[in-house]
Amino acid sequence: MRSPTLAQVKKVAAAAVKLRQLRRTVMTENQWSLRDLYRTLDLPGDNPLRKAHAELDAAVRDAYSMKATEDPLQFLLSLNLEVADRESQGLPVVAPGLPPCVTDARPFITADCVTMPK
């Protein structure tokens, strides 16, 4: 299993921030709920939300060496099976969250991130 590089992690994070900013802006400007916003994906033609999701998808695919033609669900199942196999052999696995190449999480924490109450 190949781990993403720091540059790839930064690209994924930037695309995620861009998507969240777009959603927040469009929802505020139109006084829409998240449901209203995502209903726009049912409309044909160019859609900034669709484009932002495609950019995030492309960044994630690149970070995990997933081919554009691969089925995302099958890819994730294969990754999960690989992790389970490593765990059963007592080998180390990478926990969810930022990968080991990130030594300082602070640049990845944004004002709109979800936090747990203390």
Per-residue confidence (pLDDT) for residue 1, from 0 to 100: 61
Decide if pLDDT at 117 tops 90. no
pLDDT class of 89 with cuts at 50, 70, 90: very high
Residue 68 has a pLDDT of 85
| 115: pLDDT strictly greater than 80 | no
| Half-sphere exposure for 63 (CA within 13 Å, toward CB) | 21
Residues 43-66, mean pLDDT to the nearest whole number = 94
Model's pTM, two decimal places? 0.83
Per-residue H/E/C for 76-117: HHHHHHHHHHHHHCCCCCCCCCCCCCCCCCHHHCCCCCCCCC
* Whole-angstrom distance, CA of residue 57 vs CA of residue 88: 30
Segments making up each domain of the chain, as ranges: 6-90
What's the confidence (pLDDT) of residue 97? 83
Angle at 62 (CA atoms; ends 84, 50), nearest 5 degrees: 110
